[in-house]
Amino acid sequence: MADNALFQFLLRMGDNSLILGHRVSEWCGHSPVLEEDIALANTALDLIGQTQFWLGLAGEVEGKGRTADDLAFLRDAWDYRNVLLCELPNGDFGRTLMRQFLYDAWSSVMLGRLMTSSNERVAEIAAKASKEVAYHVERSGDTVVGLGDGTEESHARMQAALDHLWPYVGEMFDSDEVDAAMVKAGIAPDPASLREEYDALVSKVLSQATLTIPTDTFHHKGGRTGYMHTEHLGHLLCSMQWLQRAYPGATW
C-alpha cells in the first residue's frame, strides 16, 4: 500500500507539470511578442524537465520497468492524476498567465514543504524544481499585476480569467487516503495544510492587480484521483501522444 500511495503521489506531481507544460508549449510561435514567446517556451521546458524527474521516480517505485516516457505517452486519460486546472485550454494570453500564477503559487508552497521530505529522492527533486518555480511565480505574478492593474481592457480580461479559473483552485487542496499515507510516512504534507500560505500569497498579488477573488467556495474535482477529467484532456493527449501511438517504440 505504501509503495502504491507513493506511486500515486508521484504521478500527481509529474502529471501536473507534464500537462501544464504541454499546454504552455502550445504558445510557442503564437505569443503576442517575441519576449513572451521565449519566456513561455522556457517555462514549458522547465515543467517538462520536472516531469522527467517525477515520472522517472514513479516508474522506479512502481517496479514494472516503465520509464518516464512510458508513463507520459502510453497512458490513457483516465490514468492521469493531474488537477483539472492544468488541462484547461489556454484561452487568451491573460487567462494563460492567470492559470500559470494560480498553479505556480501552489507549486512554490508545495515544493517548499517537499524539500524536507523523509524521502531523499523527493526532497532532491523538490530542491531543484523549487529554484525554477521561484522564478515562475515571480514572473507570472508580475504579469498578472501588470495586466490586472493596466488598461480597462486588460483589467476586464484578467478579472474574467480569474472568475473562470478560481473554481478549479480548490482541487489542489483536497486530501484523500494517498495524502494520508504520505503524511504518515513524512514524505509529503497534507494538501489542505498548504491553503493558508497559498491564500496569503495569492491574495497579496491579486490585490496589487486590483482584482477581486470570487467568494463562491464551490470547486471542481476529480482530476487528481482520475475519477473525472474534462473533455479537454483527451484532445490534449491526442496531440501529445500522436507520434508514439502512430509509430510504437520508434526511436531516433
pLDDT tens digit sequence for 68-98: 999 999 999 999 999 999 999 999 999 999 9
In angstroms, the CA 5 to CA 83 distance is 17
Quote the Cα angle for 137-239-86, to 5°. Answer: 30
- Residue 200 confidence (pLDDT) above 90: yes
Residue 93 has what pLDDT? 96
One-letter amino acid identity for 79?
A: D
For residue 224, give the C-alpha cell: 487528481
Residue 60 has what pLDDT? 97
In angstroms, the CA 225 to CA 177 distance is 10
pLDDT tens digit sequence for 111-137: 999 999 999 999 999 999 999 999 999
Q: Considering only CA atoms, which of 76, 74, 83, 89 is closest in space to residue 26?
A: 89
Kindly calculate the radius of gyration of the chain based on its CA atoms and give it in whole angstroms.
18
Q: What percent of the chain has pLDDT over 70?
A: 99
In angstroms, the CA 42 to CA 28 distance is 10
| 14 in Cβ contact with 51 (< 8 Å) | yes
What 3-state DSSP class applies to 84? helix
One-letter amino acid identity for 245?
A: R
Question: CATH second-level architecture of 2-215+222-246?
Answer: Up-down Bundle (1.20)
In angstroms, the CA 247 to CA 240 distance is 13
User: Which residues neighbour 119 within 8 Å (Cβ) at sequence distance 6 or greater?
Assistant: 6, 185, 187
Q: What is the mean pLDDT of the chain?
A: 96
**Owner of C-alpha cell 505569443:** 31
Q: Considering only CA atoms, which of 1, 9, 8, 4 is closest in space to residue 189?
A: 9
Question: 251 pLDDT band (50/70/90 cuts)?
Answer: confident
In angstroms, the CA 61 to CA 1 distance is 12
Cβ count near 250 (within 10 Å): 8
